[in-house]
Structure 1
Amino acid sequence: MKAEIIAVGTELLLGQIVNTNAQFLAESCAEIGVDVYFQTVVGDNRGRIREAFDIARKRAELIICTGGLGPTQDDLTKDVLAEYTGRQLYIHQPSMDKIEELFRSRGTVMVESNARQAHLLTQSDPLANDTGLAVGAALTFEGTHFILLPGPPKEMKPMFKHYAVPWIQSKMGGVQPLFSKVLKFSGIGESNLEHQLIDLIQTQRDPSIAPYAKEGEVMIRLTTRAASQAEAESRIEPVEREIRSRVGEYIYADEDMPIEQAVLRRLGQSGRTVAVAESCTGGLLSDMFTAIPGSSQVFLGGVVCYTNALKNQLLDVPLDVLEGIGAPGAVSKETAALLAENVRRKTNASVSVAITGVAGPAESEGKPVGTVFVGIAREEGTVVEQLKLSGNRESIKLKAAKNALYLLWKQL
């Protein structure tokens, strides 16, 4: 089944909000065997919404709309589709009861326009809104299936997953769903990874091999259509085994998670803790750790010691290491090792990470932009690796943090 996603909302066109719904819907459709070939964004305008319907019907069997189901006059999606299909709008009483009960519980008067959220097209199936008020809809018009979903992701996602997906599957006629296996890589760039696997990528049939990259991490998605999870795994397993035989040292997870989550998970499983000392990354590594729910069980904290004075005062790095003729300097193997060892000692962490370097835009201590040293201290000893990174200041900071995480993951 071919599908098109239509996101309705002038705020999307103006860039005031990011259309994350399209990403979720495209991925969710792929999982059930629906191919999304086009995505459209249209403003809150009757004529242009109708035109979007016209265009989509020429190239898709399923049209999934998000947005425009709210209570205000610019929420037009149901109104336009009713006109387009020649159907009437009526009050869906269970939804209306829910809206009225909400206002009663708050002790406030319901504004009349809120009733618009209970509107439903005749000859359509309601899609319950478990986390909001606007009822969704599913219908078929002259061979084209329409799904109407609210715009807020917290309402749209559960409605699609719990109610729209079963409705869509009932119209698909036995199309086999897609199954995917994700492999996450760090410590290797996209071009190098592709080089190692180029023959597999060029001759792929089933499963397909798709690499995706973002700063500091690379992902490969292996995908196949199958009647069951077991059948899919039997097809994916030989290809995954071959990939692991070539580049397995860089694989840190076989599910879609950032490397900081994989590191924290591994530390937690072994009952270990981590602390950090950061100079050029300015707290970025600490922020990555604390963004993971439950990180407090593993991450003790960190020190942002940006200046030499703080490296000396807070983490006891001698000034004759940091400054002076013949001194290694703040950006050095020696300083990275001392930062790692001393923050570990002061926090009593099982393992510690230190990052010091030159993020730019100018060189420092005669060392070029992108020179970074990462220290990892454990009871077994301390290791330091030098990185030579490229990019602007922001990019170098992110790459430094991600590479530090990969080096820590290897040590663990």
Structure 2
Amino acid sequence: MPPNNRKQAMLPVTAEIIDNPVGTACGFAVDIGKARFFFTPGVPRELRRMLEEQIIPRLLAKSGLQTSIHLKRFHSYGLGESHVDSLLTGVEELVPDGSVKLGFRAHYPQLETKLTVRGADMDEIKRKLAPVEQEIRKRLGNFILAEDDKTLEGVILAELTSRQASLSIVETFTGGQIAARVAHLPGAERVFRRGLVARDLVELGAAVGLPRASLEGEITKETAEEVARAARKQSGATHALAVLIDLDEGPDRIEFGGTICLAIATETEAASRRSRILGGREWVRLGAVEMGLDCLRRYLQGLPVYERIDFEKT
């Protein structure tokens, strides 16, 4: 264990450990005289999370007040934190007593929007929460991927399972990370047919039975559709997702980017989109994984596959 981490584990013998859900350094609480002291890391986002989930509930319990706290979470992709903060201006004021607090946790490429709600019991909390969460769903719309403990890949699996459908995934540059998000889930064995990964598009095409000539030249939406159709037909899946990436040349800097062409194919149709993301190789990779899965979710839920996102560059 590094010395810095070892130091974080050195706490007073009588201390109560306060969990830090977003960092390595825990907090702690001790009684000094008649007062209860709370100590936390200095990172603002860690402090806020610990206050909401750990410290305030302890203080309320110590005060003797009868109260409950509930955390409601919305997971979204495509809108940055400042954009969502602006879109949700005033939602806290739908509950005038100040018992609903709005917060965010950004972890690119997703954003978690949080509502912390306090009330005498869960019935009161649900009454307070109802108009606020309804307004959030209205304002964020199709950009909401999932809520609470649900995940994007879990939503996709549920949609496919409910249709008794199956899925194959073809991807370049992302190293199989799109397929990995789905394939390990409980129940995926009934849905996930095949994942194909290659850095070279011609090799990828050969794996799904496409001639070399059809894949030479610039990657386009039409290329992605052709690959998705071939992968679906070859694997026998009802749906196929193809995510193809054309990376820039040059050093891996903030201005380094990639063009993403993706498509979802079924037996009767195909839907596709093209996007460009800057920010370096890892930023492009993470964005491509999330965009591919999100477009598949949108397709399965009957939503537009293309809506412009904040991370997209022209």
TM bracket (short chain): 0.7 to 0.9
Who is 2:69 aligned against? Answer: 178
Q: Distance in 1 between matches of 2:36 and 2:184?
A: 40
Q: Distance in 2 between matches of 1:280 and 1:397?
A: 7
SS in 2 for 1:256: coil
Q: 1:391 aligns with which of 268, 276, 279?
A: 279
Q: 1:263 aligns with which of 144, 156, 160?
A: 156
Q: 1:193 aligns with which of 84, 91, 99?
A: 84
The more displaced of 351-360 and 309-318 is: 309-318
| Overall identity of the aligned pairs, in % | 24
Q: Distance in 2 between matches of 1:12 and 1:143?
A: 36
Structure scoring higher RCO (CA < 8 A, sep ≥ 6) equals: 2
In angstroms, what is the RMSD of aligned CA positions? 3.3
Q: 1:300 aligns with which of 180, 193, 198?
A: 193
> Contact between 1:186 and 1:259, CA under 8 Å: does it hold in 2?
no
TM-superposed deviation, 1:382? 0.4
SS in 1 for 2:89: helix
Q: Distance in 1 between matches of 2:142 and 2:117?
A: 25
Matches within 5 A, 1:132-171: 143=34
The structure having more radius of gyration, on CA atoms, is 1
Supply the AA of the counterpart residue of 1:248: G
The more displaced of 232-241 and 312-321 is: 312-321
Matches within 5 A, 1:5-404: 11=1, 13-15=3-5, 42-44=8-10, 49-50=11-12, 63-64=16-17, 143=34, 173-200=64-91, 205-323=98-216, 327=217, 329=218, 331-360=219-248, 362=250, 369-404=257-292
- CA distances 1:294-329 after superposition (whole Å, capped 9, x unpaired): 322222221113213312321123322222xxx4x3
Who is 1:38 aligned against? Answer: none
Q: Distance in 1 between matches of 2:59 and 2:93?
A: 34
> Contact between 1:63 and 1:145, CA under 8 Å: does it hold in 2?
no
The more displaced of 292-301 and 381-390 is: 292-301
Supply the AA of the counterpart residue of 2:80: G
Using a 3 Å threshold, how does the CA distance of structure 1 residues 291 and 359 change in structure 2: closer, same or farther?
A: farther
> Contact between 1:186 and 1:217, CA under 8 Å: does it hold in 2?
yes
> Contact between 1:359 and 1:397, CA under 8 Å: does it hold in 2?
no
> Contact between 1:273 and 1:300, CA under 8 Å: does it hold in 2?
yes
> Contact between 2:202 and 2:215, CA under 8 Å: does it hold in 1?
no
> Contact between 2:232 and 2:238, CA under 8 Å: does it hold in 1?
yes
TM-superposed deviation, 1:292? 2.8
Using a 3 Å threshold, how does the CA distance of structure 1 residues 42 and 175 change in structure 2: closer, same or farther?
A: farther
- With normalisation by structure 2, the TM-score equals 0.73
- With normalisation by structure 1, the TM-score equals 0.57
Q: Distance in 2 between matches of 1:207 and 1:169?
A: 16
Q: Distance in 2 between matches of 1:203 and 1:394?
A: 40
Using a 3 Å threshold, how does the CA distance of structure 1 residues 392 and 201 change in structure 2: closer, same or farther?
A: farther
Who is 1:81 aligned against? Answer: none
Using a 3 Å threshold, how does the CA distance of structure 1 residues 308 and 184 change in structure 2: closer, same or farther?
A: closer
Who is 2:296 aligned against? Answer: 408
Runs of 5+ consecutive residues of structure 1 not aligned to the other structure: 1-10, 17-40, 54-61, 67-138, 147-166
Using a 3 Å threshold, how does the CA distance of structure 1 residues 303 and 240 change in structure 2: closer, same or farther?
A: same
> Contact between 1:362 and 1:369, CA under 8 Å: does it hold in 2?
no
Q: Distance in 1 between matches of 2:69 and 2:146?
A: 21
